[in-house]
Amino acid sequence: MVSSAGEESDLVYGFRLSSVGPANVTGTDVVYEPSSLDQAMRLHYLRQVCYFKMDSTGADYQQPSEQMSLIYKIKETMFYWLNQYFMVNGRFRRSDAGWPFIKCNDCGTRFIEAKSPKTLQDWLHITRESSSLHMSVVPNKIIGPEPLFSPPVLLQFTWFKCGGLALGLSWAHILGDPFTATDFLNMCGLLFSGHKPSPIPSFPKVNYLLPRSDTPAPSQNLPPSLKRVGPVGDNWFGTRNDCKMDTHSFHVSPTQLADLQSQVSSDTAAFELLSAVFWKSIARIRDRTRDGVDTVTVCRKGARKKYSMNNKLVISTASTNSKVAEMGIDEIVKLMGQEAEDEADKIEAAVEGENGLGDFVVYGGNLTFVKLDDAELYGMELKGEKPVYVDYLIDGVAENGAILVLPAVDSVDGRVVKAILPEEEVAQLKMVMKKQWSIV
């Protein structure tokens, strides 16, 4: 994401690194083997930042002693939290056949502490104009260049001078989808508040790997939602080095959503409606520079149990032979509702056939729309406080970009739309959305 190193170092400083592991030893030779769909997400990462005012807790968190006390209690909670999610404390290896797996050796989760000279209010104002600065308060590490030393989960706690706090989670997507990561983080809040999750997470501990073929067979016909990249070697990241990606968060009020709803003939869910608006707007931009956008990928929540691991997204595509920039919103909404069947099985077959050796992207292979307005992003709780704002990002997105539809903090009817696109397209999209739709 685009931001200068000097600017970031002025806004966040005083980094302290440590590791926190489970309270109990996981066991001898325990391994965790990601599924084929997990492997398809290997080059992507989830970055979530929860902002807390911390002004109704009864403590003065402008004082270093109070900050240290809270961090100590959080780490104490993490010992038990990480007992349940033992696999996130391990490190990646490859089997003899090439399949990536986690050796559950209790190396721990990386824990980062930092400070900012800004107040929380000032910070949220700055990041409203420059969304990429949220990346200063969440770890942006990837797995590699030495996977056996790279933690798949990192946490960062950044204190603002007013006593406010940013909690940043970096989650390797190969571990699970956004709903898995959200459950993981929210469970920490439950335990910290003295509550027990229901159901209590329980994952089997095994000391063997599934048998794999010694002769991988690269797939010649990938499903439309899966794009081959690379090879990337041991740097597990989906964005090309020569493609600078940027982000911007568009805030859509309930009134603006109602106005958009009035432009379509049927009652349409916010996700489909906003996806249609942004598909049309991005197509208008790309018609000037490339071949437009005739195929998009759509990712939604799939059937899953709470506190489960793995990726369970429903992944499908929508296509048209018409010029999307010239279509009406009503037409595009109908097109979004006519997606092909879930391609997850085809994705799994393609990855399985290559023993996890192939390098693929899902986000950004096509322009990708991700429905996250039904994720419990505001479910994390610290000392009785809920976040006043949550920023969310998928990292490692390829050059065709991604659009995330997120919940808004102050209204069940509002939405935040996070655009992750090539740098030059973000600037153009901001102008188009403001001029055509009055959305900023």
Q: Give the whole-number percent of the chain exceeding pLDDT 70.
A: 97
Residues belonging to the chain: 440
For residue 235, count CB atoms less than 10 angstroms from its CB and return exposed for 0-12, middle for 13-18, buried for 19 or more.
middle
Q: Reduced to 3 states, what is the DSSP secondary structure of residue 361?
A: strand
Q: Are 426 and 243 in contact (CB under 8 A)?
A: no
Nearest CA among 300, 282, 319, 290 for reference residue 401: 282
List domains and CATH numbers for the chain.
13-193 (3.30.559.10), 227-437 (3.30.559.10)
Find the mean pLDDT for residues 230-246: 91
Q: How many C-beta neighbours within 10 Å does residue 272 have? A: 20
Query: Mean of the per-residue pLDDT values for the chain?
Result: 92
Find the mean pLDDT for residues 264-280: 92
Tens of pLDDT, residue by residue over 167-222, are 999 999 999 999 999 999 999 999 988 888 878 888 999 999 998 887 878 888 89
Q: What is the pLDDT of residue 303?
A: 87
Supply the pTM of this predicted model.
0.95
Tens of pLDDT, residue by residue over 325-376, are 999 999 999 888 776 678 999 999 999 999 889 999 999 999 999 999 999 9
Q: Is the dihedral of CA 315, 321, 325, 331 positive or negative?
A: negative
Per-residue CA distances from 306 to 70, 252, 416 (Å): 28, 29, 24
Q: Is the dihedral of CA 216, 222, 226, 227 positive or negative?
A: positive
